Each structure stands twice: as structure tokens, then as C-alpha cells.
Structure 1
Amino acid sequence: MHLTDSHAHVYSEQFKPDQEAMLLRALEAGVRTIYMPNIDHTSIDALLETEARHPQQCQAMMGLHPCSVGKHFERQLYEVEDWLGRRPFAAVGECGIDLYWDQSHLPEQQEALRIQLAMARQHRLPVVLHTRNAFRQTADLVTAAQDGTLRGVFHCFSGTLAEAEEVIRLGFKLGIGGVATFKNGGLDQVLPHVGLEHLLLETDCPYLAPAPHRGKRNEPAYLPLVAHRVAELLGKDVEEVAEATTRTTQELFGQGDGVTGNK
């Protein structure tokens, strides 16, 4: 079974003691490709070093996470734009809006997202969206920016069926992770009504470990647990889910005019 983790922070400090072993466990679990979203200027070195050591398995994205957006976010976006012009990346991200921890920087988060959506259009790259407690605000900005070329994924999707349908109408995919395995995660009411072609699988590791590892450090080797749960909810074979989501992820992150993460 060939799986693709569409969103994993495997360069995180939490993996520093055992990164090589963790990536080997991923391969043994069938996770051959891992897409890594950036956080901010402090994570770029670790991100690119991980990709350089594992170029066949790990693909880098470049963006500014909303939780790192403050009053002087423009400086960090200059660095994001500089990197996007220097070398290939799989996507712009992760970016978006997060109102879970702090709502005081909403205007700055909105402007940072507008700028990164424009970067995605300029570089003909998909965008990876973070929407924690902020689906409406994020979707409205994506709608305003959609010119028919913008594409990407609403990562860690845990919303309603109506929200899923809105994402699909926008031409975006749904990133499905550990929440699908949670008893009260809510996706059991959504995924049976969504076509498999609209889904990507992800771990968002080291966060959001699927059951039965909930509350522990997550890692790509746990992605089969998500795949099996999605297969169960859709009434499909897990091999079909693995094949379809891998194909969709590669098509999303592997297209563009020579500006991709597939090196």
C-alpha cells in the first residue's frame, strides 16, 4: 500500500531525537512521500535540511503560519517571497487564519493570507490553508481571490457537510487526518457524502495523533489508521483509498509550470 502524507511537520524539534528512525517507520508503513509545510522564519533551516537528507521522501512547502503573524509580519513574508523565487517548492503554506489562541491579530492574519494567496497565483502553486476556528473568514478570502487558477487544500478539515461542499465548489481539496478517527470528531457525518476524489490524507504530525494514539506524539507511520477509517466511512477498500488519495495529492502538488516540489 502506497500512502502519501500531505501535511506533516517531520522537521519539528519533537522529532530531533529520532527523526531517521521515524522516517524509516513511515516507509515501513507504506508512507513513501511526505509534504512538509513551513511555519515561519525560524523553521526554514530545519525544513530544508530534512528535505536535503531525504529528497525522495520529503518535499518542502514555503509559507507563513497564521500563529506566527504579528505586527511585523511583512518582514517574514519578504523572506517567504524570496525563497519562492529561489528554488522549487510543492506549495505555498501553511497559511490561513487561526482564531483559537488569539483573535487580536485577525486583521494582520487576513492581510498575510491575501498576500500569500497572491503569491500562490503568481508562482502557479497550490496553497495549504490553516482554518482553526476561522473557516468562514478563510473561505471568504479564498473566494475573493479565486480567479479560476487558485487551487489547494483546506488542511485538517473538521467542518460540516455544507463547509465541505463549499470547499469543493472553490476547487479545493479536504485534508483529512486524525480527527476522522475521533469518537466525536464529526467527520462520520460528512465523509460518507463526499467523493473520494476530493480528499487528501494527512497526519499534521507531531499533532493530532489518531486513535488509539490520541494525546501522544503523532508521526507519518500512523497514517494507515486514518486511511482505514476513511475507507470504513466511505465503504471502500483501504487500498483504493490509498491509491486515490496518493494520486490526488501528487496531482495537486506536482503540477505547475516547472515550479513544483518534485525534484
Structure 2
Amino acid sequence: MRSEPFRPAAAWLRAYLYFVACGVFAYSTGALDALLNSRFVPSNAGALWWLCSAALLVFITVAYGVLWSRWTLRFNRKLDVFPQLIFGLSWGIGYALSFLGFWHLSLIAGDGWPTWAVFLLAYTLISLWQVLWQDLVWDIYVSPEHDTPWTTKVKVPCTHVPNVTFSLLYFVAFDAYWGFVAAQVLALTLCSFAMRMPAPWCKDVTPAATRHPFVFGLSHGGGYVSPDPANDPHLKAIGAPY
């Protein structure tokens, strides 16, 4: 079922309310203070840190700059560099702060636990939150339509899951707060450009997210379903099967 028309100004307002909430969450768990008091190059940095940092940079660039972008519907939305850059930077900072908040929440809940157990708890909390928030809220009320049921299935295991896994492992191994934030900022800035996030003042018509039925009468953002998939130019542009 189709949602209300996409309204860029409302989408930006909702997004920035969430980004502020992410900052408050990070502050309340001590993550923001830890970030601001950490060094960009960790004190235990050595050849391995540089190697892992370069590897993470390459992965993020390929995963989001190539794969995620290749599988993203744009519906002829124009490239609007400044607002898409601002939105992407804000998106990356907000999400990174929320992830760090979950890490510190796990440290509090697992006081005295070994690092691997804290990691598993944080990873579980981040994964559950991302699945619920992204599918039930973000992809409906913030993002313009940019996925299909097929792209969702391929993007998650090829980009999002390894991003959270590798970035969190990198963060834990090196206590690299700023490196972790930088990775998420790069990833989501690339996403903002790839999906062509409309500026708040944009008047162009763009499809809103297609709402698919979910449990308990809720809806989730399941992606665009074409009435004529075999001849749909938008599906052909991203190589989606029909």
C-alpha cells in the first residue's frame, strides 16, 4: 500500500529530531564524553591500526560507494550536492553516536564482563534497533523510495551487516572512537548522494516509501513494487530482477 506523498521538509525535520535524540542518548551513556576526550589516532596505534583503517576505508567505499549506490533507486531525482552532503554528514554522525551509545550502555549493563561478551551485547542491541528503526520508521517517514524487495535482500548482507560487524570490531580492538565515527559518516554520506536525498525546499515530485503490511497492523518499508517490472526503467537502471 502507498503512503502519503513524500514531503522533504517534514522528512528532514524528523531526521534531525532523531539525530538530536542520538546525541542525547550518547551523552547520557557517557559515549559523547568518551568520544570528545579520545584521540583521532589511538594511543595504541601502530602498523596494524593503519592497515585496518585503510582496509575499513576501502570496504566502506566499495560497499556504499559502489554496491549500495548501484542497487539504489533514484526515480530521476537530481544531484543536489550541498543538501545531500549536509544530510549525509548529519546522518553519519547521528547513527555513529547511537551506536556508541549502545556500546556504552552495554558496558554499563555488563559491568565486569569480558570484552567479547560486551561486544556481543552491543552488537545484538545495535542490530535489533537498526532492524526495527530502519524498517518501521526511517524507511517510511524519512527516506524517499529508494529500494525494492530485492535490493533490501542484497544490501543488508553485502553492506549493512558487514559494516556494523567490521566497524565495531575495529572500534573495540583499537578504542578508535573517531575512526568509528568517520567510517559511519563516510558510509551514510555516500548513501545520501546515492539515493539523492531531496533538499528541504525541493518541489520535485518523488515517490514516498511503499508501505508493506507488517505484524500487529503496522507497516514497514518493504520497497518499490512495479506494476510492470519487465519494462520498468527504474528497475532496469539498477539491474534488479523481475
**TM class by shorter-chain length?**
under 0.3
TM-score, L = length of structure 2: 0.21
Larger gyration radius, structure 1 or structure 2? 2
Which structure has the higher relative contact order (CA within 8 Å, separation 6+)? Answer: 2
Structure number with the higher strand fraction is: 1
